[in-house]
């Protein structure tokens, strides 16, 4: 399947999250071209600092597939995964991670903590995950703009 298809599902998840007052992030996990799970950021709503969209999608996918290990899965994230989410992808044995905007883009909107790029995490962690950034980046940047315009701010 085309990566744009997966990213559009992640963008839709982010939009749902924005509508309910969440952060401008969304994620979708596909396996053999089929959607397994999608999620938005729900840190504040659920009082869970780990409830980034990628971590939530990984949890949902594990529950759905009946295994913590999401081999053969591709994870689509509207923004480059933070080190927590990158590492969660590693532990979940996800094959590919595709993202839209970059950590440096997020930083321009004030989201500038723990800015360790995924490629750096891969290199220093001797990891094998496949990474691809910049897919539908402009649409993903629009999420930040919408969030910013509606008064969004980093915690």
Q: What positions carry a catalytic annotation?
A: 54
| Residue 114-153 contact track with its own copies, rule CB under 8 A, x = bound | xxx---xx--xxxx--------------------------
Q: Cα(131)–Cα(55) distance, rounded to whole angstroms?
A: 17
Q: Strands across the sheet with 73-79, in order? A: 34-40, 26-31, 73-79, 96-101, 130-132
First to last CA, the chain: 36
86 near its own copies, rule: CB under 8 A: yes
Q: At what angle do helices 53-65 and 3-19 cross, to 10 degrees?
A: 110
Closest to 70 (Cα-Cα) out of 105, 42, 98, 32: 32
Binding letters toward its own copies, positions 8-47, x by CB under 8 A: -----------------------------------xx-xx
Asked if residue 93 binds its own copies (CB under 8 A), the reply is: yes
**Contacts to its own copies by CB under 8 A:** 43-44, 46-52, 55, 58-59, 62-63, 65-70, 82-84, 86-88, 90-93, 113-116, 120-121, 124-127, 155
């Amino acid at each position: 399947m085309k990566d744009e298809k997966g990213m559009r599902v992640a963008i839709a998840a982010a939009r749902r999250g924005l509508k309910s007052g969440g952060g401008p992030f969304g994620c979708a996990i596909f396996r053999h071209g089929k959607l397994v799970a999608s999620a938005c950021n729900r840190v504040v709503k659920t009082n869970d600092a780990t409830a980034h969209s990628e971590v939530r999608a990984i949890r949902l996918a594990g529950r759905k597939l009946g295994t913590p290990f999401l081999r053969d899965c591709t994870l689509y994230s509207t923004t480059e995964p933070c080190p927590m989410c990158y590492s969660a992808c590693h532990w979940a044995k996800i094959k590919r991670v595709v993202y839209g905007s970059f950590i440096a883009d997020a930083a321009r909107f004030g989201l500038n903590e723990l800015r360790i790029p995924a490629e750096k995490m891969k290199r220093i962690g001797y990891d094998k995950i496949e990474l691809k950034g910049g897919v539908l980046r402009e649409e993903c940047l629009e999420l930040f703009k919408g969030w910013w315009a509606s008064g969004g701010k980093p915690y």
